[in-house]
Amino acid sequence: MTALLRQAAGADGRMDYGRFTALALHHPDRGYYRRERRRVGKETGTDFYTAASLGGPLFGRLVRAAAGNLLGAEECRRCTLVEIGAEPEQSLFAGESAAFAGVRTIRAGETLAVAGNAVVFANELLDAQPFHRLIFRGGRWRELGVQIGAEEIAEILLEDFSAKETLALAAELPTPWHEGWTVDFPAGAEEILRQLAAQQWAGALVFFDYGKTLAECLTDAPEGTARAYWRHRQHNDLLARPGEQDLTCHVLWERLERLLADYGFEEIRVERQEAFFMRRAAEEIAALLAAPDPGLEQERSRLRALLHPAHFGHKFQVLTAVRRVPFKP
């Protein structure tokens, strides 16, 4: 991977974080999400676990119930459930096909094609996309980049902004600001959502992820939100082990909401996972809690982990949107 990065950087050995994270995460052969290895779970050798991996089939049932609440059960039966970004040989909805016209799984590296009537679902897809880094330095916002050296990889300041999108975001940020304050810009999250939204399909979008508003990033995240995960340890060395560790940053919710509105979506909402399930899957939850079968105690324990504020209930948010007719450019 280091050799690939050095080749991609060109003669001066420099690249922006967008290019670095794109290669480190999604290079077809060496990228973190393209390697044939188990990343998600609590087993030895994995790096992190998610609400979906913890909840298992229960998580799929709750999402199915929530989709029925969003669109109506009859409308759901006319929709294909499209799960994007599932881990190899896994699907959350293997047991839920009766509620939909069909179930499709799109995995990393496969074409993002959606058509007709669909419920498009993803769990922690957006935070796994390339991102840029901006820092307030010397009285103005500048872009951070990466220097690929012969023996080490180091963070540097770029002379200019690498893309019009980063330049536009810098223009939105307050000046003057606090020296050294860092803002991470998940441009890849916006690009993948734009690819999906621009296609001609109707139905519902249900994305689980973690994020902040830009105002929150400027209030309580002075070092930015980008983090690395390796062997269930979170740390800030984004340049260590390229291709072998997960790199992630919080999405910017209000930007994603505006993007969806531009492509004809309505009923756009971001809410905490706890609130989303309690609002949209209340009957499924009530039935599980009321069931007298003691053999369901493990399921109830998973439910508590998904809903409790100290576990996943507040850590994750859910972006939902509905589009009643296909988008027409």
Give a yes or no: residue 35 inside a domain: no
User: What tokens appear for 53 in the block?
Assistant: 């991996």
Closest C-alpha among 81, 72, 315, 100 to residue 208: 315
At 267, which CATH number?
A: 3.40.50.12710
The DSSP-derived string for 198-250 is TSSEEEEEEEEE-EE-HHHHHHH-TB-S-EEEETTEEES-TTSSTTTSEEE--
Q: How many domains is the chain partitioned into structurally?
A: 1
Task: Specify the 3-state DSSP secondary structure of 252.
Answer: strand
- The answer to whether position 235 is within a domain reads no
Residue 256 belongs to domain spanning = 51-129+186-210+250-323
For position 233, what pLDDT does the model report?
Answer: 87
CA 131/CA 22 separation, integer angstroms:
8
What length is written for the chain? 329
Sign of the alpha-carbon torsion through 103, 108, 110, 114:
positive
Task: Report the C-alpha gap between 185 and 138 in whole angstroms.
Answer: 20
| Residue 11 C-alpha from the chain's centroid | 33
Q: Which residues pair with 229 in a beta bridge?
A: 234, 246
Would you state the pLDDT for residue 207?
A: 98
- Indicate the SS3 state at residue 61: helix
The residue ranges of the chain whose pLDDT is under 50 are none
**In this structure, which amino acid lies at residue 244?**
E
Element (H, E) at 318: strand 317-323
Tokens of 226: 């980008």
Q: Residue holding tokens 């002379």? A: 159
In a domain, 198, yes or no: yes
| 234: number of Cβ within 10 Å | 12
> Is 296 inside a domain boundary?
yes
Enter the pTM of the model: 0.92
Q: Is residue 316 part of a domain?
A: yes
What proportion of the chain, given as a percentage, has pLDDT over 70?
93
d(CA 173, CA 171) in angstroms, rounded, equals 6
Q: What is the sign of the dihedral through the CA atoms of 24, 27, 29 and 33?
A: positive
- Report the relative pairing of strands 140-148 and 227-230 from DSSP bridges: unpaired
Q: What is the pLDDT of residue 49?
A: 56
In a domain, residue 123? The reply is yes
Tokens representing residue 292 in the block:
């007298």
Instruction: Tell whether 7 is covered by a domain.
Output: no
Quote the pLDDT of residue 54.
67
Cis bond upstream, residue 176 (ω within 30):
yes
- 145 located within any domain: no
